[in-house]
Structure 1
């Protein structure tokens, strides 16, 4: 796990699997003008689960929310789309992530699809970037993610 600061204000957590750590560090520093420094304090590990409900299952959303909250979910967001149905996004502590994930997965009658279920680094205080910075960040993260040694990149800004 490499930690870097890019554009003098954006923290990056770069998860890599490499047999050449020196080459990976060189790519981060020189190809992207990022400096290696601690940024872990700007992020926190969270369990994230996104569940899709089809239109006919919208009445089950409340049951699924109750199930998630009783199994360790700290927070949830719901997005209602008239065409696709409801998308529920749950977050939890990494300590209860397995319990929450198992509880949701075992109640297949309540959802139509689990879109994501992952342990992720999320910003403690997300800030919406300017359009210029957003463009630079998109280029940077795309380049990092296309590298064969990179598994995942997290940034400290909002999407």
Structure 2
């Protein structure tokens, strides 16, 4: 990763959504049927978790894109749909998630943000969307308590900003295109940027901005005519100072807590001061 920086401030560390972890449960018993049931149960759980993640990714894209469930007008949603298609997510699952997102908007679901302190003094920001605040609070508090964490004010540990990532074709005109793109993005409100280049294939360019400039920055990227693809447009929480020097046992406790929270239907994203 080659980091470039604008004169205004140093490059911010970029936070990525945590990957979804799935694991198979050992089959019980000694007969063939019990083994089949065990494998089937694990596969069903894995599929359920994948569908849960699809629902959340689409919900976040709809929220970030101003509430539209039309990929023709919501470029953030269009980027998510392209990614899901490339990952082989069944069309029925995607359509189901789109209908769910539309229903959430019609119901007027509330967006909530909880702050928590996990083992090792790791700060956590938990973003939720729900039609039942009491249920969501009860669920979040249950998993926090169960995993040795607690609700506590920790927003001061983070900075919130917009993040726009694009793919830029790494060809003979790459340097000129990159320079032009940076100028356009600066004019649209970009504050920092980072590049991830490869000798072959596309380069990934990420820009950060103030939250209120995210839509403007996303439009500048997609309308520039320079980018091969919009990879991401989202509001993220970045730790001002990463929590380090934790022992393996504490790291496992934090990871377990985040995993439990991310499995909750009402929880969209979890950010921690562990960073990437």
Task: Please tell me the TM-score bracket, short chain as reference.
Answer: 0.7 to 0.9
Distance 1:65 1:31 in 2: 46
Contact 1:71 1:100 in 2 (8 A): yes
User: 1:53 aligns to what?
Assistant: 168
Distance 1:17 1:131 in 2: 33
Distance 1:35 1:87 in 2: 37
Secondary structure at the aligned position of 1:17 is classed as strand
TM-score for both structures, normalised by structure 2: 0.53
What aligned pairs does 1:90-105 form with structure 2 within 5 A after superposition? 90-105=207-222
Secondary structure at the aligned position of 1:73 is classed as coil
Does residue 154 of structure 1 match 2:266?
no
Equivalent in 118, 131, 145 of residue 262 of structure 2:
145
Contact 1:129 1:157 in 2 (8 A): no
**Aligned-residue RMSD, C-alpha:** 2.0
Deviation, 1:67, is 0.9
Distance 1:135 1:83, change over 3 A: farther
Unaligned runs of 5+ in 1: none
What aligned pairs does 1:113-152 form with structure 2 within 5 A after superposition? 113-128=229-244, 130=246, 132=248, 133-152=250-269
User: 1:24 aligns to what?
Assistant: 139
Deviation, 1:50, is 0.7
Distance 1:13 1:139 in 2: 15
Deviation, 1:134, is 4.4
User: 1:74 aligns to what?
Assistant: 191
Higher relative contact order, chain-length normalized (CA < 8 Å, sep 6+): 1
User: 2:154 aligns to what?
Assistant: 39
Distance 1:114 1:129 in 2: 36
Secondary structure at the aligned position of 2:191 is classed as strand
User: 1:83 aligns to what?
Assistant: 200
Distance 1:122 1:89 in 2: 14
Deviation, 1:76, is 0.4
User: 2:125 aligns to what?
Assistant: 13
Contact 2:127 2:267 in 1 (8 A): yes
Contact 2:147 2:256 in 1 (8 A): no
Number of matched pairs: 158
